[in-house]
Structure 1
């Protein structure tokens, strides 16, 4: 346990100070359960500083990424209120180490959702859906990490922006979307890239968070996972997502 708490301190301070650190598990010897224990302890340090848990994010939500990482399930991380930025606002570049951005779909829940639920049950718990952007950021030197490193580092989650909320009682299984930087389209994709249907990501979030003793709560946000490859961001840029029928969301990168 002392080693887990030391890793949690190291990664928490790396994120807080936006300073890269060496890998904690370069050989991939740390079990995934211990890696999640590091993540949990690291987020608990944030809560003790006054941050508030407001949801979860899902990662490795494409089959290709799972195969690349040698896993057969998604990973997840925890969201706090200090990670959310208002749509259209300026996001300070200096808060990050190696920031990239992914276009996503976000859920907000109207009631708790826990355990092994069906897609129908998951949808019944959804208040609204929205286009969203997630800023992912590895805190490791030279952008090198193992799977356990990523999980311990809060699944690389660092910030997010959510657009206008929409009625979830519509087909959002295959909505076209673009990721844009300074008005130029840099990625084209679809919500179908998120496990074939974003609802599957929400089902997985309910299962994994409940297994960790932290079931999804009413009012929580669930970031469903990247719908395209991530793009590096730089100071001075304006980053946006445009999603079919659901609208847009964006932020400025403040240098």
Structure 2
């Protein structure tokens, strides 16, 4: 009787998730095959697969930054994923939804690191590296059937990361709590909230990322982005639509999706 080596299990799961993402096909959850520790190893292997195809690391993102979501998932700490160059959609570009599984969109605050962040950076170094903030839209797209997953499943799936759009950068300010956030679909308000939904203050999300970085950080290049988490509930991302997020005092960001037949 042969036993599959744990590293082989990690590699196999990463390849299944990578294929699901590239082909836009939902797969079964992995259940007891994954612990939280092994899920982050899967995520690391996913990043390696993307870098091997020529993508560049462009940043990181946080998940479970709302207290309600944390309680729902039974966790006391945010989760972290990675961003690559192929995930960024420039404002003015049209995003085709073909190949997506369960695309949803949510408004966020983005931080920019103005200098490289080494793998051994301290919390103080990471906070000091931030030089700008911007409004952002994140498209999430779980690769699991029925948009259903455990904590380990979603971490392995790179926290459901899919695409992101950045608005105009403005000089960094730590006065980010309590700002009204509005999400519109084709000009109609769909969700409203405040930046305080992000761990009480987006700065708390930045600090949480800095605390987690020694465990999961692999180094970030100058200009890298951190998506701090959602300010409202995510909404389904429809084809042939214009999605707008407005963050009071920070600015707005817009995304266009291609029609269903594109």
Give the shorter-chain TM-score range. Answer: over 0.9
Q: Name 1:8's counterpart in structure 2.
A: 14
Query: Is the CA contact (8 Å cut-off) linking 1:30 and 1:148 kept in structure 2?
Result: yes
5+ residue gaps, structure 2, are 1-6
- Structure 1 runs of 4+ aligned residues shifted over 6 Å read none
Q: Deviation per CA, 1:12-31, whole angstroms, max 9, x where unpaired? A: 01101111111122xx5621
Q: Name 2:45's counterpart in structure 1.
A: 41
What is the SS of the residue equivalent to 2:168? Answer: coil
Q: Give the Cα–Cα distance (whole angstroms) in 2 for the partners of residues 38 and 63 of structure 1.
A: 26
Stretch deviating more after TM superposition (88-97 or 51-60): 88-97
Q: Deviation per CA, 1:138-190, whole angstroms, max 9, x where unpaired? A: 01122221111111000001000000001113622221110110111111111
Could you say what the CA RMSD is over the residues aligned between the two structures, in angstroms?
1.6
Query: Is the CA contact (8 Å cut-off) linking 2:58 and 2:220 kept in structure 1?
Result: no
Q: Name 1:22's counterpart in structure 2.
A: 28
Q: Give the Cα–Cα distance (whole angstroms) in 2 for the partners of residues 75 and 143 of structure 1.
A: 17
Q: Name 2:155's counterpart in structure 1.
A: 151
What is the SS of the residue equivalent to 1:85? Answer: coil
Q: Deviation per CA, 1:75-122, whole angstroms, max 9, x where unpaired? A: 01100000000013211111311000010000111134555525xx65
Query: Is the CA contact (8 Å cut-off) linking 1:116 and 1:203 kept in structure 2?
Result: no
Pick from 133, 140, 147 the counterpart of residue 136 of structure 1.
Answer: 140
In the comparison of the two structures, how many residue pairs are matched?
251
Q: Name 1:231's counterpart in structure 2.
A: 235
Q: Give the Cα–Cα distance (whole angstroms) in 1 for the partners of residues 106 and 72 of structure 2.
A: 18
After TM superposition, give the deviation of residue 209 of structure 1 in Å: 2.8
Query: Is the CA contact (8 Å cut-off) linking 1:206 and 1:215 kept in structure 2?
Result: no
